[in-house]
């Protein structure tokens, strides 16, 4: 398969993918702001399921003293990761707390010792270069690593492709194509050494010969910073691709960097690729040589609705309200989006904690939301703008018409389940039809119909 794609001469391979959209970038709020450590709150709320897969199993009991960096919950099987104490303190209780999506979920409540220096005492150095791929993969799981780009999929699972897949290239995703967000941008500028180290660990784990760090051309400074610290052997390269949404989607990145198409419903490893986000890779580079776990992450808090936008290093479990109050948040939760404006969701409550997967909060004002919506929904005029925008070459126009008619099963013929909900179609639709929103409902309805059919 890869032999075929390699046979295509480079001048025929595009530097980007076809279709996509160009929303206003609005990175100026925080792109120039160095990462700052955020103070610890009095209590940390550590959700047991911050990742895709099974929730972690608590290892601590109320009243127990924990040291910063110490494991406090273990992985429940392969599709799960452990959890580490982000601060030195005492376990207060384990209880149900609200989550960003709505339903209450169990969490470990950790009371942070006031006046404690929070020095990092946990962990011991180890030599990665002597470790076998299996050991590295186990170490990645032990570090509690998940995809920090937002999906929070356990990283060690991605490092364990089916045996018949032969991974030759690691792609590091530094596109950060969502407007407003600058987490990855700052990490690439400020911690290129860890990024390169992490990349090398990933290459070793997957036994890949080369790695490409991909970023968009609105982040030339980041590309420069990484190029200065690249290893001399040329195994890792930096490639700058045009700024376009959703360039940071795995499939789009694979197309842009190495001109391979990840098969529908398949893994990147099927075409010899492993794709990892910059924030995840930096954490691998920083944590693995010290046998440490994920206890904090960089979060961009941005938007016109906040007084002090910036990039902050926040302890996992910090309540959102604690952060927003210190940064001058005016407004209510309905104008608060976790993640970027294209794929992020509004949060149900301000009392939700920071989880491993949240890389940013965007605060809009009511007038911004007003400005960004079409006052009236018109009928579909078949203009085809959505067809021109869909990065997967689906036909959102047709899918939308079927969704309105509730012909959910027929939508599968138009590849409903390939849609990864990037939102390009809704963004461009001049009729203001909430296409991707329809598709979310349709997918749920479709699954429902199937499970009902299976029961019979």
Partner 1 sequence: MTAPRTKAELRSSPHLHKPMSVDMIMRHVVYALLPVCAYAVYQFGISALALLAVCTLVCVGTEHLFCRLAGRASTINDWSAVITGLLLALTLPPSFPLWMAAVASFFGMAVGKMFFGGLGYNVMNPALVGRAFAQAAFTVPMTTWTPALAPGRFTEFIPSTLTPPFLVPTPVDEWIARVATEGFTGATPLALMKFEQTSTDTLQLLTGTVSGSAGETSALLILLCGLYLIARKMMDWRITAGVLGSAAAVSGLFYLIRPEIYPDPLFTLFSGGLMLGAVFMATDMVASPETSKGVWIYGALIGVLTVIIRLFGGLNEGVMYAILLGNAMSPLISRVTQPRRYGAVKKEKAPA
Q: Return the closest-CA partner of residue 145 out of 201, 226, 93, 219.
A: 201
Number of shown-chain residues binding partner 1 (CB under 8 A): 61
3-state secondary structure of 369: helix
CA pair distance 318, 19, nearest whole angstrom:
38
Q: In angstroms, how far is the first alpha carbon of the chain from the final one?
A: 41
Is there binding between residue 39 and partner 1 (CB under 8 A)? no
In angstroms, give the least distance from the CB of 390 to partner 1.
8
Q: What distances in angstroms separate CA 445 from CA 252, 412, 448, 452, one per listed residue?
A: 27, 12, 5, 10
d(CA 347, CA 118): 30
Could you give phi then psi for residue 385, rounded to 5 degrees? -60, -35
Q: Is 25 in the site for partner 1 (CB under 8 A)?
A: no
Helix (H) or strand (E) holding 285: helix 278-287
Q: Is 150 left (phi over 0), alpha (psi -120 to 50) or beta?
A: left
Select the residue interacting with partner 1 from 120, 383, 404, 444 (CB under 8 A).
383
Among 59, 79, 229, 387, binds partner 1 (CB under 8 A): 387
| Nearest distance, CB of residue 111 and partner 1, angstroms | 22
Determine, following the binding rule CB under 8 A, whether residue 263 of this chain makes contact with partner 1: yes
CB of 337 to partner 1, least distance (A): 6
- Kindly state whether residue 132 participates in binding partner 1, applying the rule CB under 8 A: no
Query: Least separation, in Å, of the C-beta of 183 and partner 1?
Result: 18
223 touches 195 (CB < 8 A): no
Residue closer to partner 1, measured from CB, 290 or 414 = 414
Q: Which stretch binds partner 1 (CB under 8 A): 75-83, 149-157, 385-393, 446-454?
A: 385-393
Spatial distance between the Cα atoms of 84 and 193, rounded to a whole number of angstroms: 24
Asked if residue 418 binds partner 1 (CB under 8 A), the reply is yes
Binding residue (CB under 8 A) for partner 1 from 78, 121, 373, 407: 373
Q: Which residue has the tokens 């199993």?
A: 57
Pick the piece of the chain touching partner 1 (CB under 8 A) from 43-51, 127-135, 150-158, 424-432: 424-432
DSSP SS3 for 103 = strand
Rg (the chain; Cα; Å): 22
CA angle (214, 5, 252) in 5-degree steps: 35
Least separation in angstroms between CB 276 and partner 1: 19
Candidates 36, 207, 220, 332; binder of partner 1 (CB under 8 A) is 332
As measured in angstroms, the least distance from the Cβ of 115 to partner 1 is 31
| Burial group, residue 422, by CB count within 10 angstroms (0-12, 13-18, 19+) | buried
Among 119-127, 133-141, 186-194, 379-387, the segment contacting partner 1 (CB under 8 A)? 379-387
The total number of residues written for the chain in this structure: 456
Q: How far is the CB of 156 from partner 1 (least distance, A)?
A: 25
Establish if 206 lies at the interface with partner 1 (CB under 8 A). Answer: no
- Relative to beta strand 345-346, strand 310-315 is unpaired
Identified binder of partner 1 from the candidate list 5, 235, 291, 398, rule CB under 8 A: 398
CB of 24 to partner 1, least distance (A): 8
CB 74 → partner 1: shortest distance, Å?
Answer: 34
- Nearer to partner 1 (CB atom), residue 221 or residue 421: 421
Does position 427 bind partner 1 by CB under 8 A?
A: yes
CA distances from 278 to 105, 136, 193, 271 (A): 28, 18, 12, 21
423 binds partner 1 (CB under 8 A): yes
| Binding status of residue 432 toward partner 1 by CB under 8 A | yes
**CB-nearer residue toward partner 1: 207 or 332:** 332
Residue 381 within binding range of partner 1, rule CB under 8 A? yes
* Nearer to partner 1 (CB atom), residue 208 or residue 436: 436
Q: Are 437 and 426 in contact (CB under 8 A)?
A: yes
Q: Is 127 left (phi over 0), alpha (psi -120 to 50) or beta?
A: beta
Work out whether 5 is an interface residue with partner 1 (CB under 8 A).
no
CA separation for the pair 285, 282 (Å, rounded): 5
Q: Which helix (H) or strand (E) holds 440?
A: helix 435-455
Q: Which residues bind partner 1 (CB under 8 A)?
A: 21, 23-24, 179, 251, 255, 261-266, 332-334, 337, 339, 341-346, 348, 362, 364, 369, 372-374, 378-384, 387-388, 390-395, 397-398, 414-415, 418, 421, 423, 426-428, 430-432, 436-437, 440
């Amino acid at each position: 398969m890869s032999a075929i794609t390699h046979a295509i001469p480079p001048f025929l391979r595009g530097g980007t993918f076809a279709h996509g959209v160009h929303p206003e970038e609005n990175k100026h709020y925080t792109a120039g702001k160095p990462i700052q450590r955020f103070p610890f709150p009095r209590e940390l709320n550590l959700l047991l399921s911050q990742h895709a897969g099974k929730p972690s199993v608590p290892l601590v009991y109320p009243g127990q003293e924990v040291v910063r960096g110490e494991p406090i919950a273990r992985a429940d099987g392969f599709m799960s990761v452990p959890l580490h104490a982000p601060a030195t303190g005492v376990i207060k209780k384990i209880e149900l707390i609200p989550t960003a999506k709505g339903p209450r979920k169990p969490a470990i409540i950790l009371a942070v010792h006031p006046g404690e220096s929070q020095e990092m005492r946990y962990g011991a150095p180890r030599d990665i270069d002597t470790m076998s791929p299996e050991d590295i993969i186990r170490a990645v799981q032990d570090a509690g690593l998940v995809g920090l780009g937002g999906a929070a999929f356990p990283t060690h699972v991605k490092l364990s492709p089916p045996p018949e897949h032969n991974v030759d290239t690691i792609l590091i995703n530094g596109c950060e194509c969502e407007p407003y967000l600058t987490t990855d941008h700052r990490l690439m500028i400020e911690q290129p050494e860890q990024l390169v180290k992490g990349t090398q660990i990933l290459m070793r784990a997957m036994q890949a010969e080369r790695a490409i760090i991909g970023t968009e051309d609105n982040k030339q400074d980041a590309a420069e910073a990484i190029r200065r610290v690249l290893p001399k052997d040329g195994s890792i390269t930096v490639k700058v691709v045009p700024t376009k949404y959703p360039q940071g989607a795995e499939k789009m990145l694979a197309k842009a960097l190495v001109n391979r198409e990840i098969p529908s419903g398949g893994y990147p490893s099927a075409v010899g690729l492993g794709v990892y986000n910059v924030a995840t890779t930096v954490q691998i580079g920083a944590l693995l040589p010290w046998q440490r776990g994920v206890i904090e992450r960089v979060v961009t808090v941005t938007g016109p609705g906040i007084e002090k936008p910036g990039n902050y290093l926040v302890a996992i479990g910090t309540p959102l309200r604690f952060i927003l109050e210190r940064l001058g948040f005016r407004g209510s939760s309905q104008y608060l989006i976790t993640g970027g404006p294209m794929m992020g969701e509004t949060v149900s409550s301000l009392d939700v904690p920071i989880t491993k997967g949240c890389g940013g909060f965007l605060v809009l004002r009511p007038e911004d939301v007003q400005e960004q919506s079409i006052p009236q929904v018109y009928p579909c005029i078949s203009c085809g703008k959505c067809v021109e925008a869909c990065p997967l070459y689906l036909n959102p126009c047709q899918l939308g018409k079927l969704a309105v008619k509730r012909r959910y099963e027929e939508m599968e013929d138009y590849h409903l389940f390939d849609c990864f909900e990037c939102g390009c179609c809704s963004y461009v639709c001049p009729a203001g039809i909430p296409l991707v929103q329809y598709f979310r409902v349709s997918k749920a309805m479709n699954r429902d119909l199937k499970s009902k059919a299976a029961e019979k």
